[in-house]
Amino acid sequence: MNPAYQPLMEPYKFRSGVEVMNRVVHAPMTISFSRQDGVASDDLIAYYESRTNGVGMAVTGSTTVAPSGKVFGGELAADRDETIPSLQRVAAAMKKHGAKAILQLFHGGRESSPEAAGGEIVGASAVAKEGASAIPRALEDHEILEIVRAFGASTRRAIEAGFDGVEIHGANRFLLQQFFSPYTNRRDDRWGGDADRRMAFPLAVVDEVLKAAAEHAERPFLVGYRLSPEEETTPGITMADTLKLADALANKELDYLHVSLLNFWSKPRRGVEDDRSRMEILHELVGPRVPLIGVGSIRTPDEAVGALRTGVPLIALGRELIIDPDWVRKVASGKENEIRTELSLNDQEKLGISDPLWNKIVHTPGWFPIADQA
C-alpha cells in the first residue's frame, strides 16, 4: 500500500467501545432492492456483501420504523418483530468481511408516498412537498410520541438482528428534519416554534434510541445521527440553526454525527459569516465531543486523505462504492490506479444495481459520471 494512504487504514474506536478496522464508511444509499413488504431480497443481500468488503463500517439505506413512513416502497423495514429474520440476513451479509453493520432508521413524513404509506401521509405540519398534490396531516401529540417509541422499538430489533449500531436519519428532508425546519414545521405547541422547540422531536428520538440501546444491547452498540446542514427554502434551516442542533446533539451520548452533503468541501449558504467548509465549521464546534463522518464527492484516495486532514476522523463513500465495490481493497493492496471513477451504460448487471436505482442514475444528469453518455 502507498504509505500516503495509511491514514485511511487506521482503526478507530467509538465512545461506545465499537472499533472499526479503518476510516472508510459505506454511506447509506437507497438501492431499492427490498420487497414491497420491507423484507430483504437475495439481490439486496448480494449487493451488501459486495459493497462492504473492505470498509470499516457500513450503513444501510433508509429503514422504516413505521408503515406510515414509507417513501419509496422497497426500502427495508424494522417496524415489526416479523422483520427480524430479514434484518439478521442483512447484518450477517454486511459483517461477512469484517465491517461493522449499522441500520439506518427513518420515517419519511411528508416525503412518504400515499401509495406506499397506506393512503395517508403525515408530517410536522400540513405543508405539502413541492410539486406534490397530497397534503400531509399534521401529527397529533400522541402520534408523535408513538413514532418516538417506534424508533426505540426498531433499535431493539436491530440489536436482536445482530447489527453493531443504528443511525438515526435526521437528514434529506425526512420527518426529523421536517420538525427542525421552520419551513415544514408551523406548529405552536411543544414541538414547534423557535429552534429549541423545533429540535424537541429529533432530541426525543435520540433519547429513546439511546435508552433502547442501554436496555437491550449486551455488547458495545453504536448510535449515530445523520443531518443535513442547510435548506434552500426561505424560511428554512440555516447554518446557524444547524450549529445549534449539532451543539445539542454533541451533548448527548452519541457515537458520531454524519453530515449529509453532496460535496464535502461545500460552504455555508447563509447563517454564518465564514469562508471555511461546513465540515470544518462543524468539526470545530463539536469535534472534541463527538466525531463527524464526512461524505460528498470524495472520489479518489488523495481526496479522502485530504478530507481527513481537516480533523474529521471518518469518510463515507456512496456513489464511489456503487461504481467500484473494490475501492477500499484496491487502496489497501496498492492498486489505487485501478479504481473506477465513472460508470458505463453497460454496467448495471455487472455491478448488481436495481432497476429503480439504475434509472435514477441514468436520468439524473450530473449525479453519477457516466463515460458513454453525452
Q: What is the pLDDT of residues 309-361, one digit of tens each?
A: 999 999 999 999 999 999 999 999 999 999 999 999 999 999 988 888 888 89
Half-sphere CA count of 228, side-chain side, radius 13 A:
20
What one-character DSSP code corresponds to residue 109? G
| Among the listed residues 272, 90, 273, 104, the one whose alpha carbon sits nearest the alpha carbon of residue 176 | 104
Summarised one tens digit per residue, pLDDT across range 236-285 is 999 999 999 999 999 999 999 999 999 999 999 999 999 999 999 999 99
Instruction: Say yes or no to pLDDT of 374 above 70.
Output: no
Q: What pLDDT does 252 receive?
A: 97
Place of cell 495509511: 6
Q: Would you state the pLDDT for residue 37?
A: 86
At residue 312, the pLDDT reads 97
- How much is the pLDDT for 119? 84
First to last CA, the chain: 35
CA distance 314 to 103: 17
Residue with cell 439524473: 364
The per-residue pLDDT of the chain, averaged, comes to 94
Which residue shows C-alpha cell 464546534?
A: 285
Fold type of domain 3-341: TIM Barrel (3.20.20)
The alpha helices in 68-127, defined as continuous H runs, are 84-95, 114-117
**Parallel/antiparallel/unpaired status of strands 19-20 and 12-13:** antiparallel
Does the pLDDT value for residue 33 go beyond 90? no
Percent of the chain with pLDDT over 70: 99
Check pLDDT > 90 for residue 45.
yes
Query: How high is the pLDDT of residue 178?
Result: 98
* Element holding 222 (H helix, E strand): strand 222-227
Neighbours of 275 (CB within 10 A): 9
Mean pLDDT along residues 94-113? 96
Residues 277-307: tens digit of each pLDDT? 999 999 999 999 999 999 999 999 999 999 9
Judge contact between 103 and 163, C-beta under 8 A. yes
CB 15 within 8 A of CB 313: no
CA-CA distance, 321 to 161, in Å (whole number)?
Answer: 25
Residues 6+ away with beta carbon under 8 Å from 256: 14, 222, 224, 225, 290, 291, 292, 293, 314
pLDDT of 372 > 80? The answer is no
pLDDT above 70 for 46: yes
pLDDT at residue 19 tops 70: yes
Q: Are 48 and 90 in contact (CB under 8 A)?
A: yes
Q: Which residues of 30-47 are buried (b: 16+ CB within 10 A; e: fewer)?
A: bbbbbeeebbbeeebbeb
C-alpha cell at 341: 471513477
pLDDT, position 373: 58
* Amino acid making up residue 150: A
Report helix, strand or coil for 331. helix
Q: Quickly count: other Cβ atoms within 10 Å of residue 69's Cβ.
A: 28
pTM: 0.96
